Structure 1
Amino acid sequence: MLYNDQSSQKKKLDLAVVDMIALDLQPFTIVTDEGFKKLVSLLDPRYDLPSTYTLSGKLLNQRYTDIRNKLKEDMSGVEYVALTCDGWTSRATESYLTITCHFVSNHQLHAVVLSTKPLTNGINHTSENIAASIQEIIDEWEIDHKITSIVTDNAASMIKACELLKKKHFPCYAHMLNLVVQDNMKLIQPILKKCKDIVTFIKQSTSAMEIFKKEQNSEKPLKLIQECPTRWNSSYYMIERILKTNEAIGRTLLKVRKAPQPLSVDDVCVLTELVKVLDIFEEATKKISGSKYVTISLVIPVTMGLYNNVCKISTNMETEDGKKFIKGLIDSIITRLFPYENRTVAKIASLLDPRFKKEGFRIPANASAAINLLEFDMVSILKKKEEKKKTIEIQNQNVSSTPEKPGTSCALFAFLEERIDSKIKSLTADVIITKRQYLETINSDQDTDPLLYWKIAGHGLSPLEECAAKYLCIPATSVESERCFSTTGQIITERRSRLKAENVDKITFLHKNIRNH
């Protein structure tokens, strides 16, 4: 006998099927597949799988609404959030905008997806249309007053959209790192072309591929990696793999007809120098692109670290191509990355990271400017708290009608009220003391979690703890919204190119957020 629709077990199993669809990015039609139906029947003969119509309509909507309400409740107690957003085009040539939200709750960093929806006017990619689409999501989630920054790439339309929304814009640091390297890849195009030609030839030739595998003389032979023009690190991976397998590549090319010329000794010297410097950029890109730990405070110290290391390596460059390439990198770092030290968000975040504080800055004057900005923020927070406290007291006085205690004279202690009222004027002094107490202590170890630090030390450093929640929630990159592209690309396959936009949004939302609820 099958479970009836009101059975708690039936509801649990239906929920598990919806979660499987979202987590594993399975098509709704899996419930009609013979193998899956047979498996479910063996596991529980009493369970009757829902139809694709019930699954994609009622059950998906219920699960989405449930998780959305829980997330909205969680975010209602959060004072500060940051957003990332990016646009992309699906296989069905629909223009989507993905928005992610980042916030600190219980001294932990959270990254969630708010929306993956078509633009309000899908044909129009103007900044006004993008701004209207973002505002629609902001209003849905009721977070307009909480947003500290919006992180996007450097597209003019995105920057203008943030201006229209009157929100602080922060340019994606990973995107800028990519531009720094891409600026200079053209300087080494001849040798890059040699590498690409070799990889293309071996990948496209069955006989060459077989010889290449045998020549490696390994149980797990490596495969060559082709460059992707839009990602600098794909060139790095290609070069690194070529250097690891260069001997096998050389023997392979000599055994196959019409093969390109193997790399010369000079070529290998150039590639070896390139890998040394690109390795630093790869480390920086990985470090700055996380979503589960604080990244915004890394921007200024990472820039300084990149510059110092690239300058050191430049003194050991022997090839002309290597020298030309690394000089271009240094110039690009100065042009594209140094300006981050003048950005309010990055400056204050570095100060609030106990690992860096003032020592993470390249120019001491920028650290001093950041301290002034932080002081202003601290005073503002304390003033708001005082105003909120007074409002509550007035409300309590209006509600309460408790009579005065006998013998108490208001006039007798009038001087206290005057002094308390004037106390707000000394907030700046309190802020300076708190700030010094924090900045003058020894910096934390490099493996310290800054949010854990503020959890332990924050109570004695108010309002710095609140400032940390405000700024450290901001991601340094828009990578999280870009990651949704690959997820959604797996949802909108050729098999499911006609999937409704609202279901694309719900599945992406559940896929990214369901694990936390």
Structure 2
Amino acid sequence: MIKVAQILKIRHMPCFAHSLNLVIKDVLTEPNVKELIDKCSSIVSHFKRSTLASDKLKSIQRDIKKPEMKLIKYIEIRWNSAYFMLKRIMAVKEELTLAISQLSNAPSNLSADEYIFLGELVKLLDPFDTCTAAVSGDKYVTISLIIPLIKGLCLKMVEFETDNFTEAAHIVIQHMKTAINDKLKPFESRSACIIATLLNPHFKKVGFKTDADVERAISYVHKEYSSYLSSRQILRASAIESTATGDSSLENDSDTPKKSKLDSLLSFVDAHQNREIHSVTADTIIDVRQYLAKPLLPRTEYPIEYWTFNENSLKHVALKYLCIPGSSTPAERIFSKAGQVVTDRRNRLSSKHINALLFLNVNYNLLKK
């Protein structure tokens, strides 16, 4: 069972998926991109409004034995909808061109250069869609994905810079790099993300960009783990002291040595306890080093299961941080589902019935069990 993020630790963490969407919104304001989006939106709107145009597109798709795929409209408030629109237009490029050429009042089609730029833009936006899907999950740990995904995006930008893209696409790449630095870099300095990344056995040190980031992460884990070990030792010492006090009250004062003399005689026990407390630092370093020395966990296995059955006391810190941080993604999904439930032909549904239908839709898999 995956835990929700602990309120005290991650209460001020913004939604990473929303931050990714803000990066895309910044990119869509780039003049070349905006011009292409507007032109594509005009084409899609025409095929959505005109039954003749949509029927023509379906007919051509059947004639050339292509799957019937509708065009997707760009809606600003829906995440990645611009990417989905462009990707679909690229997928139906051939039949769309034929349909537009056979329609008298259709908007002008994209030029060859615009189709090239559109294909490049789809390729550039694809990693952001992948990241959004990854961090929007609610059945696996997501907080430890944030820093590695930022690293992956930055590496992709470097890779894209070496590709043989058009000048317009290279301008978009630079725009993306700036937006990533502005909108996503703050997540790399959040202690909860840092600790969770290092304690995710899928990533460990590999999830960070630089050696300095790795050292900072290890330092954070050392501090958190030593604090846990120290508190555990204090609780143990307190329990021993309480037990000793309780036992002495049952004994006859005449048969028991005075407490001060007994303490003096058994002072070597206190000295040993002090050595145990001082060894917290050594235990912290050894346990963290042993964990980091082990091979990375295969991506097919689950971090929570790895730590649940691990004997290393470090698991108490790992299970505290490996969680799902609060996200606005479920709310966005509910709004999208509501739009599919309340249509023009079902506009008389009461709010009570809408809520019931949405509840059943979201919890259908649970109800089947």
1:419-458 aligned at under 5 Å gives the runs: 419-457=272-310
Given candidates 12, 19, 24, the residue that maps to 1:181 is: 24
Amino acid at match of 2:149: V
Shift of 1:231: 3.4
Cα distance in structure 2, aligned partners of 1:251 and 1:478: 41
Cα distance in structure 2, aligned partners of 1:378 and 1:110: 20
Shift of 1:232: 4.7
Shift of 1:514: 10
Amino acid at match of 1:496: S
More strand by share: 1
Shift of 1:399: 5.4
Given candidates 167, 192, 205, the residue that maps to 1:320 is: 167
Q: Is the partner of 1:384 in helix, strand or coil?
A: helix
Given candidates 312, 321, 337, the residue that maps to 1:471 is: 321
CA contact (8 A) 2:4 2:323 kept: no
The residue aligned with 2:270 is 417
Cα distance in structure 1, aligned partners of 2:98 and 2:361: 50
CA contact (8 A) 2:3 2:324 kept: no
Is residue 2:89 matched to residue 1:242?
yes
CA contact (8 A) 2:2 2:323 kept: yes
Specify every segment of 5 or more residues in structure 2 that has no aligned partner in the other structure, as ranges.
none
1:10-409 aligned at under 5 Å gives the runs: 108-110=1-3, 147-150=7-10, 168-187=11-30, 188-217=33-62, 218=65, 220-397=67-244, 403=251
Q: Deviations over 1:396-425 (max 9, x none)?
A: 456556549x99966543311332144212
Shift of 1:267: 1.1
CA contact (8 A) 1:354 1:444 kept: yes
Cα distance in structure 1, aligned partners of 2:251 and 2:361: 55
Amino acid at match of 1:355: H
More helix by share: 2
Q: Aligned-pair RMSD on alpha carbons?
A: 3.2
Q: Deviations over 1:342-387 (max 9, x none)?
A: 1111111111011211121112212211211111111111222223
Shift of 1:315: 2.1
The 1:286/1:390 distance shift into structure 2, 3 A limit, reads same
CA contact (8 A) 1:300 1:340 kept: yes
Cα distance in structure 2, aligned partners of 1:294 and 1:311: 28
The number of residues matched between the two structures is: 351
CA contact (8 A) 2:20 2:132 kept: yes
Q: Deviations over 1:481-507 (max 9, x none)?
A: 54455578869x85333x59xxx79x9
CA contact (8 A) 2:4 2:325 kept: no
Q: Deviations over 1:192-240 (max 9, x none)?
A: 1111111110111111111100111247411110011123511111111
TM-score (normalizing by structure 2): 0.84
Q: Is the partner of 1:216 in helix, strand or coil?
A: helix
TM-score (normalizing by structure 1): 0.61
The 1:239/1:382 distance shift into structure 2, 3 A limit, reads same
CA contact (8 A) 1:201 1:259 kept: yes
Specify every segment of 5 or more residues in structure 1 that has no aligned partner in the other structure, as ranges.
1-107, 113-145, 151-167
Cα distance in structure 2, aligned partners of 1:237 and 1:205: 21
Shift of 1:276: 1.0
Amino acid at match of 2:54: M
The 1:109/1:261 distance shift into structure 2, 3 A limit, reads same
Cα distance in structure 2, aligned partners of 1:231 and 1:510: 19
The 1:345/1:255 distance shift into structure 2, 3 A limit, reads same
CA contact (8 A) 2:202 2:298 kept: yes
The 1:239/1:205 distance shift into structure 2, 3 A limit, reads same
